[in-house]
Each structure stands twice: as C-alpha cells, then as structure tokens.
Chains A and B, each alone.
Chain A
Amino acid sequence: MKSRNLKLGLFCISLLLFWACEDVIDLDLNESEPQITIEAQLQGGSHTFNVLISKSTPFFEPGTEEKVNNAVVTLIDDQGNDTDIPLVRDGEYSEHITAFVGRQYTLRVEIDGEVYEATSNLLQPVGLVDIEAKFQSAGFIEEDDGYEVIFYYEDPVGMDNYYRARFYINDVPQFEGEFLQVLDDSFSDGETARSPILTEIFQEGQNVTVELMHFDKAAHDYFKALTDILGEGGGIGAGIAAPGNPPSNWSGNILGHFTAFSSDTISIDIQ
C-alpha cells in the first residue's frame, strides 16, 4: 500500500548512491537477557492451531533458537470455553481447534510461574474475487522476465479493515521475509481493491495461491512494525522513524503476537 510505494522510493534513493560501498563490520552490541517470544495464529474454521514459544539469543550468534518446552498453554474464548494446547515438538504446542467468527479469543501461557495473556478478535473472512497474471519484462525493479500476480478482493464498506497477504507456490508456503505484505483500506474502502504480490516474479508452470488474512488493528500494527524492522534492519539512517520492538498484544514483556484471523484463498496457474 502506501508503505510499498514509499519503501520502494527509499529503496531507490539508497540504490542511487552508486558510489557507495558496503562493508561487513564488527560491532560491539550490548546483549540483553533472553526474552520470551510467543507466536500464535488462530485461523477461523477448523484448523490446526500452533503456538511457537522460544527465547531470544545473542544477535551475532548463528541462528540457534532457544525453545521453551515447559509452558502450559490454554486457549479461551469469550463464551467460557477453554482448551489445553499440548506440546508436540520442541517449542511447538499444537491442537486441532474450531474457531468461530465474531468471538474474542484469549491465549493464556504460563511459564515458570509467570502468566502471560493475549487477546484477539476473530473477524469474518473477506472474499478474494479475482486473480490474474501479467507479464513483465526485466526492468529496474525486477531483474528477470516473469509474471506479476495481481489479486482482487471486496473490501467491506464503512469499517476499517486490515489485511495481510501470503502466497504459496505449488502449495508450498513462501516466507516473504522483509516484504511481508500488510494492507489496509484507507485508499480503497468499500471498493474492489487490487494489489500485486509485492516484488515477486513468477514463472510459467507455477501454481500460485494467494491467501488474504483479515484481522484486527492490533495485528495490523504489529505486522506493519515488523515490515519496517525487516525492511531496514534498524541502525542509523534507517527508513523507520522509531526503531523499537513491534507492539505486542501480550501482557508482560513478551515478543511475538497472538493473531486471530480469517482468510480466503484463490489460485492461478501461470501459463
């Protein structure tokens, strides 16, 4: 959305510096105490609900996660139902859950005597109505020839809507890294909104599925802050105005987010 344009703009300006050199440098960072991260996404309908719990590690050490295996995880809805979520793998707690649109869900996690809670509203799905593939020749933004995939959805009128778009190639989920695509309806309220899959080019023969997640404002603010951090990596001269951890909906000083969402999908075969 807006961030796409301006992100690209800033990206281009920084590319402009063709005299610029890039060097890997050694920096002394003040390493903080390990912090707990709880990541959970509850999808409306009948699906497997996964809760990932881990701890932070020093920045320059190779990506070893420290997983938490002694947590007690409970999912509670606003009708008084609670469900235990058991540990199934290292750091992963999982259970098959039927989640209902219109309810407010709370995830309760107890670790070492401390209780952390987060709440999220499960909203209705927003329908994807069309998908198309457009051929793009190599240019500045894309280095190869390929197809741009564009999807269309019906934004509900009169309320503020927040989304995230994920995509799958041949049913394999793709992780967008710094191009996490977070959308809102400030420019398209009540209309058929249109968006390309950001900076991704597809090839003939691929089957591309777009999933449009619809969630509340807290989830949007969280993912948007995450795109800012991933996009620029922080540090001096970064594109974000205020480097800080994304706003979490957890009580206590916990990283991560509990997101209740509904989604719709649509696919296209590129030929």
Chain B
Amino acid sequence: MQTRLKSTIILVMMTLSLGTYAQKFTISGQITDAGSGEDLPFATVLVTDLEGVGTVSNTYGFYSLTLEKGEYTLIFRFSGFQSVTKKIVMDKDIKLNIELAEDSQELEAVVVTAEREDENLTRNEGSISKIDMAALKTVPAFGGEPDVIKIVHTTPGVKPAGEGNSGFYVRGGGLDQNLILLDEAPVYNPSHLLGFFSVFNGDALRSTELYKGGMPAEYGGRSSSVLDIRMKDGNSKKFGGSAGLGLIASRLTLEGPIVKDKSSFIISGRRTYADLILQLSSDEAINSNTLFFYDVNAKANYRFSDKDRVFISGYLGRDKLGFGDEFGFTWGNVTGTLRWNHLFSNRLFSNTTLLYSNYDYKATLSGGDEQIGLESVIEDISLKQDFSYFLDDKNDIKFGFNLISHKLEPGNIQAGPSSGFTSQEAIPANGMEGAVYIQNTHQVTPKLNLNYGLRYSFLQRLGRGTEFQFDNEGNVISSTEFDKGEEISYLDGWEPRLSANYTLNGTSSMKLGYNRSFQYIHLLSSATSSSPLDTWIMSSNNVKPQIADQISLGYFKNFKDNMFETSLEVYYKDMQNVIDYRTGANVFFNDEVEGDLVFGDGESYGAELSIKKNKGKFTGWLSYTLSRTVRQFDEINAGREFSARQDRTHDIAIVSQYKLNDRMTLSGNFTYYTGDAVTFPTGQYQLEQTSIPLYSDRNANRAPDFHRLDLGLTIQRPKKGRIESSWSFSLYNVYGRKNAFLINFHPSEHSPSVNEALKLSLFSIVPSVTYNIKF
C-alpha cells in the first residue's frame, strides 16, 4: 500500500520534472550591421529578467540562447551601435535575426576596447585587446598609410620590434611567437618595405583582436599571442567603396552585393610608388632602382540558406627592391581561405575552413654573365573544423580540430653556368602539425564566468629527409635517411587553458588567466631584428617545441559612467626550449643548421596599466608596461642569465584625439621605450693589423631610449551626394629624434686608428598628405 503510493509520487514527480526539461526553447539568429549587412561578432545578448543570463554571438555573428518557457525581454548590444530591445515569448524555438544601426555618435569611436561591459556578462577569453577599425581614419600614420599593426603596437604588453619593423614582442616573448592570422590563414611575414608598412590594408578589415594571455583552447600554434584579423565580407546592401591618394601609397576598395542581402564581395588594393619618385632623379645610381610593394585583398560570400553560408577570400602581396640590374630582391605572401558555415541545429554551429598560405623570397645577383638566384619558400595547406555548441543558458561549448601540412624549402640556389656555384635544391622539409581541442564558457554564478579547456597538439615530421645527430659542440656525428612519407619524428603536448572572470560590482571586475602553449615552428633571424631573409624551421628530435606557461591577473574598473576604462594586469611567463645561436652560427641555406642552435629557458614578468577615455571631445588611451624578460643558456654568457634583447623596462604609448569641431579632428601619438639590451664591445685587440672589437657579457648594454611624437589632422569635407571626402595630414616624428636603427662600431674614416660608434637612424621628420574618399 505505502510502497505503491511512494512509487506513484516518485513517478508523478519524475514526469513533472521531465515536463520541465521538455519546456526549454532556443532562440537563435544572426546579428548584423543594418547599414552594410556585415556580421557583428561577439555582440552581447542579455536577458534583462534573469541575472547573469545571456550569450555572445560568435565570430560569424551567430547567437543561440536556450531558455525555459516564458516571456522575456532581450537586449542586443554591440559597441558603437544602438542597442535593440525585443520582447519575446518562448513557447517554441524562435529564429530571430537582428540588425543593429551604427550609433550616430560614431565620431567618438572607441578606439581600443578590452571588451568589457558594465553588465554581468563580459567576454571571457583571457587577456584580449580588440582594435576598433574606425580609429584607423584619425590616428596619425606613417606616410599617410593607416596601419592596424601600428595600433597593435600601442597595446599594453606589446612592444614594437623597432622602427622599420612590423614585428612585435608580446609579454617578453620572441618575434616568432605571435600567430598572425588573416581570415584564419597564417601570414608569415606581415611587413612590407622592411616593416615601414604592414601587409594589412585597413580598408578591407572588419576586426582585429590580439590574445595575449589566458588564450582559449581553440587557439594555438605560437606560444605568446594570436593576432586574429578578419576581413570585411562586403556590403550586402549597396555598392560602394573608398579610396586614398597619398604621397607614398594609394589604395582603392570596392564592395557591394552580388545578390542583395544574400551575397556580397569586397576587393581592395594598394600600391606604393616610391620608385616612380626615384626615377625622377637624374643620378643613374638612383634612377635605375626599383622599390615598390602592392597588395590585394579580395573576398566574396554567398548565403545559400538560413543554414549555409560559403566564403572565399584571399590576399596577394609582393615587395620588390632592385638596384639596377645587379641586385634584385623580392618577397611576398599569398593566402587563401575557403569557408563553409553550417547550422546543424539552432544550437550547433559548424565552421569548416580550407586554408592556404605561402611566403617566399628570392634574391638575385648578377654581374656580367654571372647570375645567382637564392630562393626560400614556406607553404601551408590546412583544414580546420570548429563546432560551437550553445548547450544551455550557462554553457557554450566549443570543440574541433585542425591539421596543417607544412612544406618548408629553406634554400634553393639557381646558379648560372659561369657563376662558379652549383645549383642546389634543398630537400623540402615536410611536417604535419595538428591539434584537437575542447572548451567551455561557463557562467558558474551570475558573477563568475569561467572559460576552461584543453588542447592537444602535435607535429609529425615526414620524409623524404635527412636527420642529423650532433655532438655537444654541434658537429655532425651521424645521419639517418628517411624515405618519402616515413615518419622522422613525432612531438606532442597537452595545453590546458583557463580564464576566469569575476564581476565585483557594476563597474569593476577581476580576471585570472592561465595557459600553456606549445610551438612547433620557429623563426631563425640573421639579424637581431627581423628581415625578409628570415628562415623558418620545424621542431624535430634535435629541436624541441617551445613551451610557454603563463599566468595573469587583472583588475578592471570603469569610471564616470564608462567614460574612463582602466585596467591593471600583472603576468608571469615561463618559457622552455627557447632558441638561440652558437657564436658564428650560419643560419642561411645550411642543412645542418640544427647543430648551430642552442636551447635554453626564458622568463618574463610585468605589470600593464591601461587608461582609456571613450567619450567627450578628447578621447584616447595611455598604455604603460613595466616589465623584465631574461634568458638563460648553458652555452651563452658562461651559462649566466642575461637580458633578452626585448627587455625594455618601460614602455609607454599615448594615443589621443581631439575633436576641434564637427569637421576637424586633431590627433597625436607618443611612444617611449627603454632601449634594447644589446652587446657592445668592451675593448679592442689587434689581429691581422686590424682592430677587432672585444665582447664580454651578452646584452649587458642598452641602446639609447626610443621616443617619438606624431601629430595628425583630419579635415572632413562637406558631403556631396554620396561622396564623403577628407584630407589627412600627418607629421611623423615631429621633433625629429634620430632613433637608433643600427649601431655599428668601426674605425673612424678620417683617423683609422680610432674607433667610433656609428648610429644609423631611419627617419627624421616625415610629413604626408592623403586625400580620402568614400562613396
């Protein structure tokens, strides 16, 4: 009797609870820009009736939220756009696409946002800096070319490699530890013209984000950062474009719908014409020289249905230098992306991408009938599969894998018959790099959001190839031959990731991040700054993968109703298997280069302060980083720890804009950093009747401090019909400081028995004018 009653009650309760589970519905859709149809990635969707409940759209603007049956008010938000509020009744699955209109206050564009909202839901993906592309129009740029990489340089924790160089160091990591992606395809050399300009044309880009710590498990491949740059899809509502005519370079962008609201394209191109100016010179030594770069970005997409969308995009760029007929040097990147977005259900989003990336350089020397060509190529083909599963109102799961086939041809030589050299083709190195990951963004409590995940990565080296075995001095003792397809080595690692975001109150939050990253491909530089002649190598049994473990802690606070955004972040990074060279190492076209490498440890730590003012006539930000980064190798500096080259104690960047009136905006940049740690001579001695510099401790000296002020003025002209035009004036290096690019030590020209230090600096004051139009 009693047992039956009990069973019935249990049965009824189970049915009721089952009934409760059954009454969850999903609302999903696409969030886009009302004006252009472009996806709005990481837009927030908040449920005002429930504390701490909401979601964030993914990279492609897709959002999905699962709620229990009921009535709710949802707010859709994206920085710089007007929010939209919708009342919904959840009694079935709803498909709701939202278009957000740009804020009419757009001229107060927030320039760099460490995407932090004052509501409970914040984007929890570790230490991330998001660059607002609208800033490119007003920030003074070198030679009038707006450059997104230069803005990345002003982020706290990021140190530019130096003048004339697009590379950068993130939290003490090396130049090769940043994965630079354009629409998911890796870009191996992001510099044009020795880094005066980067390869990224701001007019073609939609978003740029830098992950510098607490990286989510979906990212990997380089141990310090990921710079994720996405191209615009192209305005799917109306045809338009923009162009800029400048003293050094010009650019043109065209975009528009192929099928209105379903399909669009964008194509953007740029060219310098510094060589045309050279040809104006009457000096033959100057006018026979070539110096130019061009690049083209193109993208098209087609939305087949609510569930399927295909994108195709590509980049092609080339740099060419030449001195008459005698010397020529060219390099360039090519990338291609073919992507398919598919909705398996209203909660499961899939992204499948096929990628291609190629970087090559070629140098040719000719003298009379001698001809020598030196060439190096790196080529990647990869497949990437990512799933986003919006499990429920508290959990967003992501999982997937990627496979990259690397082919590195580090040095082919084509020698003419009378050159005295034999042609040689280096055997390409083949490797298969891959990773599998799973992560969850979990709203644990209304105040605590955790993003935790695990990534497994590996590199498999495959033949044909030769593996050398070296002794402790780097001399070859034996070698093993491998046939095509035979496995030469297999290296792998587990990469746990964690990022925790705790909201303290309506205006402040704290963030903790931890990540471990493996890196299987490394850059060997000839010089201590990067140049197009850099060589990439893969890990092997001789070259272990670089490993970085980083922990970071940050405090974020907004003041005066979000007018000021401030943050203070501290980090500690431990690096293993860092690569350096034996004295006298030869890194070019050297099959046995692995013997010239030495391996050690690195450590870096620091504090990053950021203050941003987002509203008012005067806007901008200040970044200050106080840091230290050191290395230790048994074979270098007698095993004593030494400062890494990029150990710059202080690093300050100030970027500001002042709106004089509706049409004119004044802007200014100031950069200051402590000079690099370098090795200078500590004496001299005589050999072969020549004075030779004597060296002792590694990097025990400092280059002179670097600082520079740039000013700019943008004048918006009155709108004529569809055409908006503006003039941009900029003055680079206003007070003409000659920052050191190279310091050489040589006997003096007029008194050869005396040594002197010669500083080579690149630019004094460089003015520029650009005329921009948008239609």
Contact = CB atoms under 8 A, between A and B. Distances in A.
A113 B493 CA distance: 54
Contact of A239 (B164, B526, B745): B526
Contacts of B703: 236
Nearest to A26: B757
Interface residues of A, number: 85
Contacts of B589: 2
Contact of A12 (B323, B586, B754, B756): B323
Interface in A171-190: 175, 177, 180, 187-188
Contacts of B531: 10, 13
Contact of B583 (A63, A239, A244): A244
A146 B415 CA distance: 24
Given A10-B533, A25-B757, A60-B755, A242 B701 contact: no
A17 B164 CA distance: 10
B694 A56 contact: yes
Contacts of A16: 194, 291, 321
Nearest to B743: A235
A228 B686 CA distance: 16
A175 B689 CA distance: 8
A20 B761 contact: yes
B584 interface: yes
Contacts of A47: none
A57 B753 CA distance: 12
B434 to A, nearest CB: 31
Contacts of A21: 738, 760-761, 764
B580 interface: yes
A6 interface: yes
Contacts of B590: 2
Best-surrounded residue of A13, A148, A221 (most CB of chain B within 10 A): A13
Contacts of B679: 234-235, 243-244
B695 A234 contact: yes
Given A17-B762, A236-B742, A59 B683 contact: yes
Contacts of A12: 321, 323, 327, 329
A196 B745 CA distance: 27
Contacts of B583: 225, 242, 244-247
B327 A8 contact: yes
B392 to A, nearest CB: 54
B95 interface: no
Contact of B757 (A2, A235, A243, A247): A235
B757 A62 contact: no
Contacts of B738: 21, 23
Contacts of A195: 420
A226 B317 CA distance: 38
Given A2-B589, A139-B324, A62 B751 contact: yes
Contacts of B744: 232-235, 238
B644 to A, nearest CB: 13
A26 B763 CA distance: 20
A20 B745 contact: no
A63 B691 contact: yes
Interface string B359-372: 00001010110001
A34 B372 CA distance: 44
A51 B700 CA distance: 33
B375 interface: no
Nearest to B422: A187
Contact of A22 (B683, B684, B759): B759
B304 interface: no
B646 to A, nearest CB: 11
A110 to B, nearest CB: 20
A218 to B, nearest CB: 10
B529 interface: yes
Given A56-B694, A63-B747, 5 more contacts: A19-B766, A25-B704, A58-B683, A236-B529, A243-B695
17 contacts: A5-B372, A9-B329, A16-B291, A19-B764, A20-B741, A39-B687, A56-B694, A60-B756, A140-B285, A141-B326, A194-B420, A232-B744, A236-B741, A237-B162, A238-B742, A241-B524, A242-B636
